[in-house]
Amino acid sequence: MSDKDVVTESTSEREIPPGAIVVGIDGSDRDKTCITYAAGAAARSGHPLHLLHAQDIAVELAAANPIAARGLAFVPDLILDTTILSDALEWARKEWPDLQITGSEPWMHPEEALIDASEDAHLIVVGSSRISGLERILLGRSALAVSLHSRCPVVIMPEGGRTDIDGPVVLGFDGSDGSRMAAERAFWMADLRGASIRTVTSWYAEVVDGQVVTTPGTPAWEQVESGYRRMVEEGIKDLRERYPHIDVDIRIVRGPAAEVLVRESEDASMLVIGSRGRGGFRGMLLGSVSHKVIETAKSPVMVIRGKKK
């Protein structure tokens, strides 16, 4: 079997080349957007590309026989519908003939398959849908679960999201371990793309000399902003020394964290945020601020949870 053959028999992550950029596909219109982004990242970084179309046995059976599906324990000799994967592979290989592109189609919950794949993957790319008539996206079960549990960075591509690389890499930074890990990836990505970095740190309710700071330009306001700026400068000092050619714009902005990040994402090629169990960026954790950012950001969003670069 060549390295470009479709693999469908097993659910093991061994099917996926180590260090691959893995794209979760489901046959929807957003598949090409996700594949296009992932292929560009693979071409720039030298990593292989892997398309993963997981099929949920219970869902497949429920469509034909809901009663049987409820009692599902094991169903032998199921025939995989490989049309979605084979069509996607054929299209991707024509578009990027120089890339190593493989695929797999396990019988698993999609989120389970992608989380398993993240153990050895360089990056996971998944899509979400815009809610009709609204700016928010529907963060599907797979996208949410993978963002919460992936062992490598995850990129969430909103429906209709951009796949070009114009614009700065925007980094949400609060000095936490999660945001420092996000900074490592953001600088690495900016170097690869020849892009600039924009760090964004929000603050909202600060007290100086017993008074809540609300008036721009006052000594108290300047004191608060200077303190946050020093925190950012110290936090990214090593990265600036490692990547001296990257332009860095440090922005300290008063306002709710999610609103600030979403606004700053409007001209970004990517918004990079760290996620951890609690705290961080005035509550930057998936399920609160990060969840809202993913739902409303104008650019693709990268969530950093694992320890891999």
CB 25 within 8 A of CB 84: yes
pLDDT score for 34: 92
Q: For residues 190 and 248, what is the distance between their CA atoms, to the nearest angstrom?
A: 10
| Fold (topology level) of 169-304 | Rossmann fold (3.40.50)
pLDDT score for 298: 80
How many contiguous H segments (helices) and E segments (strands) does the chain have? 11, 14
Common-topology check for domains 6-158 and 169-304:
yes
CB 28 within 8 A of CB 86: no
pLDDT score for 129: 65
3-state secondary structure at position 303: strand
Q: For residues 222 and 235, what is the distance between their CA atoms, to the nearest angstrom?
A: 20
Residue 234's contacts (CB-CB under 8 Å, 6 or more residues apart) are none
How far is residue 215 from each of residues 58, 175, 209, 218, 224, measured CA to CA in Å?
58, 25, 14, 6, 11
pLDDT score for 158: 75
pLDDT score for 4: 44
pLDDT score for 277: 44
Q: Specify the pairing of strand 301-304 against strand 270-274.
A: parallel
CB 106 within 8 A of CB 113: yes
pLDDT score for 171: 96
Q: What letter would DSSP give residue 131?
A: P
Spans of all domains in the chain: 6-158, 169-304
Residue 56's contacts (CB-CB under 8 Å, 6 or more residues apart) are 107, 108, 109, 110
pLDDT score for 140: 55
Residue 142, amino acid = S
Q: For residues 102 and 3, what is the distance between their CA atoms, to the nearest angstrom?
A: 7
pLDDT score for 137: 45
pLDDT score for 173: 94
Beta-ladder partners of 156: 126, 301
**Domain 6-158 listed as CATH 3.40.50.620:** yes
pLDDT in tens, the chain (309 residues): 444 444 443 334 447 999 999 999 988 888 999 999 999 999 999 999 999 998 876 554 444 444 444 444 444 444 555 689 999 999 999 999 999 999 999 888 888 899 999 999 999 999 876 554 444 444 455 676 787 788 899 999 876 656 666 899 999 998 888 889 999 999 999 999 999 999 999 988 776 777 777 778 888 888 889 999 999 999 999 999 999 999 999 999 998 888 999 899 889 999 999 875 443 344 344 446 777 787 778 889 999 874 544
